[in-house]
């Protein structure tokens, strides 16, 4: 029985690594879509990422269940991975430890993908806000009139329009 549970745990880690890599790939593509202001591609990528996140959640739940079952084989409660390792069959320890390291590495890598996207969006948002602040302080003094222009407009009647899309 414990061999089957250990195999399920290892397969769960392998599947989770693959899913995290896919999430990272999609996140990188999202950054490109944001940079290109391609809202159609971004929408498609968000849908794909949402499906992959659901898949990842199910994989993680199955992996956790197999881990809890492994722990119950030798302990009355859930223990740390490092406390469990000496109880695993010696022939499977190295493979299990390698998968665990790879999973931890992939989680950190995916966090980096998310941080990279977050930093880019934050920088772009700050830049746009700064430009708009500079422009609006130069043209302050009123709201648009009925024709859609600033009453004190000295730039030949040009209005400011901001796209609702990216």
Give me the residue spans of the domains in the chain.
2-133
Which segment, 2-6, 125-129, 162-166, is predicted with the most confidence on average?
2-6
Q: Are 9 and 63 in contact (CB under 8 A)?
A: yes
Q: What is the three-class DSSP state of 87?
A: helix
Check pLDDT > 80 for residue 151.
Answer: no
Please state which of the four CATH numbers 1.10.3470, 1.20.120, 1.20.58, 2.60.40 is assigned to the domain occupying 2-133: 1.20.58
Q: Are 99 and 13 in contact (CB under 8 A)?
A: yes
Cα(85)–Cα(88) distance, rounded to whole angstroms? Answer: 5
Residues of the chain above pLDDT 90, percent: 60
* Residue of 104, 147, 166, 55 whose CA lies nearest to 157: 147
pTM of the model: 0.74
For residue 22, the model assigns a pLDDT of: 97
- Between the two ends of the chain, the Cα-to-Cα distance in Å is 54
Question: pLDDT confidence of 53, banded at 50, 70, 90?
Answer: very high
> Where does residue 156 fall: left (phi above 0), alpha (psi -120 to 50 degrees), or beta otherwise?
left
Check pLDDT > 60 for residue 72.
Answer: yes
Question: pLDDT confidence of 100, banded at 50, 70, 90?
Answer: very high
């Amino acid at each position: 029985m414990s061999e089957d549970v250990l195999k399920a745990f290892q397969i769960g880690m392998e599947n989770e690594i693959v899913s995290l890599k896919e999430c990272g790939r999609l996140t990188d593509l999202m950054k490109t879509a944001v940079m290109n202001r391609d809202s159609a591609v971004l929408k498609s990528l968000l849908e794909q990422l949402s499906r992959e996140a659901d898949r990842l959640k199910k994989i993680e739940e199955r992996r956790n269940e197999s881990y809890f079952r492994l722990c119950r084989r030798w302990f009355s409660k859930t223990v740390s991975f490092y406390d469990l390792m000496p109880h695993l069959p010696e022939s499977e320890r190295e493979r299990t430890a390698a998968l665990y390291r790879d999973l931890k590495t992939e989680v950190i890598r995916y966090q980096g993908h998310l941080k990279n996207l977050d930093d880019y969006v934050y920088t772009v948002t700050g830049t746009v806000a700064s430009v708009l602040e500079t422009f609006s302080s130069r043209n302050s003094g009123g709201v648009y009139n009925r024709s859609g222009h600033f009453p004190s407009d000295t730039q030949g009647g040009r209005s400011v329009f901001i796209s609702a899309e990216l």
